[in-house]
A and B are shown apart, each in its own frame.
Chain A
Amino acid sequence: MVEAARRTSPLEGRAFRGHGIVLAPAAPASRLSLRAAEEALPALSKALGLSLPRRPKTSAAEGGRAALWLGPDEWLVIDEQGADLPALAAGVSALHSAVDISHRNTAILVSGKRAEEVLAAGCPQDLCEARFPVGAASRTVFGKAEIVLWRTGKTVFRVECWRSFSDYVFSLLEKAARETM
């Protein structure tokens, strides 16, 4: 008998806890890269059970599922319960593209009162609450890696990055967390 492939987190066992900062891998989630024009948004919103945000740098979250605005016709949908998102989108006949990227991305949760400061070590955006409030989401860079940054709380950020970049991103976050202590 062939043993079924078992997928493990690329950040298995990684964690950091310092003064005012906690770094932790996020639990596995399902993810969708969604591209659609304005006409398809009402039907897609209904199918996904949340209102796809139309404004730059915003997100909409509803019971463990969230849609992050990435571009004028692009969203990252994350479901923390692991729902079958492509199946939900498949029921929509309006023209759209929905690609399952659940295993392309992984995420790191950055929390604590120094979260902004630690992220600023590699992210050039202004992350103060006035410019990047709770609920703000954006594709950007962290060091040399592209990430999607989402502020889920006053001192809590979710850093989505490609699985193969996660060791680099986690290590750089950890280095920043130690150096700014």
Chain B
Amino acid sequence: MLLIYCPYCEEERPELEFRHAGEAHIARPENIAGISDEAFERYFFIRSNPKGIAYERWRHIHGCARFFNAARDTVSDRFLATYRTGEPKPRLEGEGQ
């Protein structure tokens, strides 16, 4: 079974306790009622879907219940790093770059 390191539980836990929660680092527009339809589309629907390193939100839903962020290689399915919500993207080298 895939093990995922939860930055709040501070240990690796089985994937069955987690749920994927979409792309990370997408800021909600501050004036969401005032933006154009095109800007709303970009914010709401358009995702980067990269081949290689993807930054994603995950939730330890059946554990501490916290959302956190993860850098995962979409080719190898390997988790390269997980970090707490609010922390900057980690600088990653090598695999998936």
Q: How far is the CA of A11 from the CA of B4 in the complex (A)?
A: 34
Give the residues in chain A near B16, CB-CB below 8 Å. Answer: 124, 141
Chain A proximity mask over B54-97: 1 for CB below 8 Å, otherwise 0: 00000000111110000000000000000000000000000000
Known contacts A56-B8, A56-B9, A124-B17: A139-B64 contact under CB 8 Å:
yes
Known contacts A124-B14, A124-B16, A125-B13: A138-B8 contact under CB 8 Å:
no
Q: How far is the CA of A57 from the CA of B10 in the complex (A)?
A: 10
Chain B proximity mask over A134-153: 1 for CB below 8 Å, otherwise 0: 00001111000010000000
B46 within 8 Å of A (CB atoms): no
Name the one of A57, A72, A141 contacting B62, with C-beta atoms under 8 angstroms: A141
A74 within 8 Å of B (CB atoms): yes
Give the residues in chain A near B17, CB-CB below 8 Å. Answer: 124, 140-141
Residues of B bordering A, CB below 8 Å: 1, 8-11, 13-14, 16-17, 62-66
Tell me whether A140 and B63 are in contact (CB under 8 A): yes
Which of B16, B63, B65 has the most chain A CB atoms inside 10 A of its CB? B63
Tell me whether A74 and B10 are in contact (CB under 8 A): no
Give the residues in chain B near A56, CB-CB below 8 Å. Answer: 8-11, 64
Count class of interface residues, chain A: 10 to 19
- A59-117 CB contacts (< 8 Å) to partner B: 70-72, 74
Give the residues in chain A near B65, CB-CB below 8 Å. Answer: 70-71, 74, 139
Give the residues in chain A near B10, CB-CB below 8 Å. Answer: 56
CB A119 to nearest CB in B, in angstroms, measures 13
Q: How far is the CA of A139 from the CA of B14 in the complex (A)?
A: 12
Name the one of B9, B14, B66 contacting A57, with C-beta atoms under 8 angstroms: B9
Additional 20 contacts, C-beta under 8 A, given A139-B63, A140-B17: A56-B8, A56-B10, A56-B11, A56-B64, A57-B9, A57-B11, A70-B65, A71-B65, A71-B66, A72-B8, A74-B64, A124-B16, A124-B17, A125-B13, A138-B9, A139-B62, A140-B63, A141-B16, A141-B62, A146-B62
